[in-house]
Structure 1
Amino acid sequence: MLLPELKLRRDKIRALMAQQNIDAAIITCNVNLLYTYGQIVSGYLYLPLHAPARLFLKRPNNITGEHIHPIRKPEQIADLLKENNLPVPQTLMLEGDELPYTEYMRLSAIFPEATIVNGTPIIRQARSTKTDIEIIMFHRAAKAHAAAYEQIPSVYHEGMSDKEFSIEIERLMRLQGCLGIFRVFGQSMEIFMGSVLTGDNAATPSPYDFALGGKGLDPSLPGGLDGSVLKEGQSVMVDLGGNFNGYMCDMSRVFSIGKLTDEAYAAHQVCLEIQEKIASLAKPGVACEELYDAAIDIVTKANFADNFMGIDQKAKFIGHGIGLEINEAPVLAPRIKQELEPGMVLAIEPKIVLPSVGPVGIENSWVVTAEGIEKLTICNEEIIQL
């Protein structure tokens, strides 16, 4: 990745560090290294406030260049800084919400006199607004994502299970260049590529904080498809993460096995209306809770509130930031007063679950512009009969 782009990203973090009088940061978690260094390594990016960043590298051993220092262990960082006449930080930022406790304590001990602060919120805030190059990456990912989804009807055959259907769609995604890995912030959320939900499984509560749940195939991964056969009169929602270049493009589309009930088509139309309303309201300066409240107002007036974002267990949001991870800031949820900013990229996903039928609704990825929001994922949004 070009150095000017990496410097721009690092300077976004530095600006936030300066506001809190933080002298330096040590960055070592994969996603944050990808953001600040352009690739994942085993090592530590040392980011001082007023000097060039330095990489203290363990693996791979074939990276060389200015400001790159091979090391065996992080304790060498302090001595190498002194050798290069760099000051010892008085306040040091670590990825406190992401590092294991042992690693956090080990890195803290490198500079025993320094005050240690949690830098995860700062890095996530910097990452929440994307650079021009990141938005280009999203456009490319969205195009590949849509190209895969457009082929979904071609891989369906009668009598398939949700598992068999998902495998074929996953193959389409991989052929378009999807990397497969589904990156999520936090230790309590995980899934394989995404979910394919049909029938009543879409309303099955899950421990994960995704828009809809699903039983899953095994208690070790309790979310998503459960092996159900795709049945006449039921819907199928495909929600596979589009990681084609590191950036998690997000999109859901609904298919039907034969015809659905009139109620299902009406509910789907309500979700499209919610999407249209949010698209008309969203712009820089608008608070996240305003968009959530607008969605709740529409779905309540349409008498689908009891089935919105789940039935017995509901997701308390209708959208979220996306980026190198699927769940970035901001979150479109009640009492979230954070305002939209240009460069934020969002997944907006109003969904309704109907007993005996399954899920309907829509999800697209959008970028916040100076005037409003622009849709990235462009393909058919109606329920497609298989």
Structure 2
Amino acid sequence: MFESLANIPHEELESRFEAVRSHLRDVAPEAGGILIFSRLNIYYFTGTLGQGALWIPLEGNPVLMIRKGVERARLEAGLEPHPFKSYGQIPEVCAEAGSPLTATVGAETAGLTWQLSNLLTAKLSETTFQPADHAVALAKAVKSTWELNIMRKVGQRHHRCLHELIPEVIKPGMSEREISHKAWEVFFANGHQGLMRMQAHGEEAFLGHVAAGNSGNYPSIFNGPLGLRGEHPASPYMGYAGKLWNEGEPLGMDIGFIVEGYHTDKTQTYWAGPASSIPDEVRRAHDFCMEMQQWVADNARPGATPEELYLYCASQAEERGFGDGFMGLGENKVPFIGHGIGLTIDEWPPLAKKFRDPLKPGMVIAVEPKQGIPGVGMVGVENTFEITEDGARCITGDEFDIICVE
């Protein structure tokens, strides 16, 4: 009666199983497999946003267990779903499916609340659990050609919206909230699917940040450099109805784009007025950010480490007088210059200190050098890059300068 809207190819899922198994052997060497609980990672490995659990043994077939939505899972998933009601049924279901739980199990600990994890360990008292989230993060970090093709499409639409279409529908004198609504109209008209996802516990994303003038330095709870007032203290996202974008002010729009579950990240800086009205301080800061983005793109080759990329940019900021505002002013300053991206906005790896695992071809990173200027706002760039043998290739456009709107 019904057909699936889309399916992940079988060979794609098989390669994902093999990748997480390979990483699990290093991350949790005593574990005989991994239990996945979060809906998004169940989707990554099966093709359905299932409520339940997924057992991926090192040897044998994965077992998809669904508590709600079994019929939908039969349409979408690359595995036959097994209905279950209680965590206590997991060993029985896996055994009946021919892939019994092992004595030691790797667990996606971030996929459960403390309450549910206590329930799980009580129900499976004879099973030893080891944290294995990093095996999933490493598997997801390297994108397949199938994933890259989706993300390249997302990036093209993203650039067109922020660089070509939005400048035609915004103008100085609009409030941040009005500008946010125009951005939604443009994004939805070009296929944006609305719901964006964060991996870090408690982080949320709604459209993105729209910050006019010194809103770009407003105290932020979000783990990013661009400040914003937001809608309200209960929803400090998007833009504030009471703040107008005035002549002679920058406007920062840090807005993600999502199609078919995959994100790209991009920030575009606009200026209210002609190019001749941009102060030298603003111009120099933005030029520095573009220069750092290009340096990262040139040097983010396979074998380079995230730490190397971060330390170079941070040292250049200090040496050239941008240290105080680089990557945020005051408490808004963040200790990274970018992050992995894919099914969530904040994936592995962070471009930060102590992250020394080398980059690999197929990784996708968002690079976001930004500069806070006291009393003025924030300028800078962010774009999404695919790691190739020759360096990082931008998939969200090739023009990064300030766009002037009069």
TM-score in terms of structure 1 length? 0.94
Map of 1:334 onto structure 2: 353
CA deviation after TM superposition for structure 1 residue 25, in Å? 2.0
Identical positions, percent? 31
Task: Kindly indicate whether residue 202 of structure 2 is the aligned counterpart of residue 188 of structure 1.
Answer: yes
For residues 375 and 366 of structure 1, the distance between their equivalents in structure 2, rounded to whole angstroms, comes to: 4
2:280 to 262, 265, 276: 262
Task: Kindly indicate whether residue 357 of structure 2 is the aligned counterpart of residue 348 of structure 1.
Answer: no
1:377 to 382, 388, 396: 396
Distance 1:376-1:112 versus aligned 2 partners, 3 A rule: same
Contact 1:78–1:110, Cα closer than 8 Å, also in 2: no
For residues 155 and 379 of structure 1, the distance between their equivalents in structure 2, rounded to whole angstroms, comes to: 22
Whichever residue aligns with residue 140 of structure 2, its letter is R
2:266 is paired with a residue whose SS is coil
Root-mean-square deviation (CA, aligned residues, Å) is 1.8
CA deviation after TM superposition for structure 1 residue 294, in Å? 1.7
Map of 2:61 onto structure 1: 52
For residues 54 and 210 of structure 2, the distance between their equivalents in structure 1, rounded to whole angstroms, comes to: 38
Map of 2:132 onto structure 1: 119
Contact 1:98–1:186, Cα closer than 8 Å, also in 2: no
Map of 2:302 onto structure 1: 284
Task: Kindly indicate whether residue 169 of structure 2 is the aligned counterpart of residue 155 of structure 1.
Answer: yes
Contact 1:13–1:126, Cα closer than 8 Å, also in 2: yes
Map of 2:4 onto structure 1: none
Contact 1:320–1:347, Cα closer than 8 Å, also in 2: yes
- Written as runs of structure 1 = structure 2, the 5 A alignment for 1:215-234 is 215-223=229-237, 225-227=239-241, 228-234=243-249
2:307 is paired with a residue whose SS is helix
Contact 1:147–1:176, Cα closer than 8 Å, also in 2: no
Contact 1:352–1:359, Cα closer than 8 Å, also in 2: yes
Distance 1:249-1:299 versus aligned 2 partners, 3 A rule: same
Contact 2:365–2:384, Cα closer than 8 Å, also in 1: yes
Deviations 1:227-277 (A, max 9, x none): 310000000011111112211200111111113212111211111111121
Deviations 1:169-215 (A, max 9, x none): 12111111111112111223223121111111111221221122223
Task: Kindly indicate whether residue 380 of structure 2 is the aligned counterpart of residue 361 of structure 1.
Answer: yes
184-193 vs 161-170, greater mean Cα deviation: 184-193
Contact 2:177–2:238, Cα closer than 8 Å, also in 1: no
234-243 vs 76-85, greater mean Cα deviation: 76-85
- Written as runs of structure 1 = structure 2, the 5 A alignment for 1:184-333 is 184-223=198-237, 225-227=239-241, 228-258=243-273, 259-313=277-331, 314-333=333-352
For residues 85 and 383 of structure 1, the distance between their equivalents in structure 2, rounded to whole angstroms, comes to: 59
Structure 1, gaps ≥5 residues long? none
Deviations 1:47-103 (A, max 9, x none): 111111121122213243864212233332222233344433111122212311122
73-82 vs 30-39, greater mean Cα deviation: 73-82
For residues 333 and 36 of structure 1, the distance between their equivalents in structure 2, rounded to whole angstroms, comes to: 28
Task: Kindly indicate whether residue 19 of structure 2 is the aligned counterpart of residue 12 of structure 1.
Answer: yes
CA deviation after TM superposition for structure 1 residue 105, in Å? 2.5
CA deviation after TM superposition for structure 1 residue 129, in Å? 1.5
For residues 217 and 346 of structure 1, the distance between their equivalents in structure 2, rounded to whole angstroms, comes to: 29
Distance 1:231-1:4 versus aligned 2 partners, 3 A rule: same
336-345 vs 168-177, greater mean Cα deviation: 336-345
Tell me which stretches of 4 or more aligned residues in structure 1 moved more than 6 Å: none
Task: Kindly indicate whether residue 117 of structure 2 is the aligned counterpart of residue 104 of structure 1.
Answer: yes
CA deviation after TM superposition for structure 1 residue 224, in Å? 5.2
Distance 1:4-1:183 versus aligned 2 partners, 3 A rule: same
For residues 98 and 312 of structure 2, the distance between their equivalents in structure 1, rounded to whole angstroms, comes to: 56
Distance 1:88-1:254 versus aligned 2 partners, 3 A rule: closer
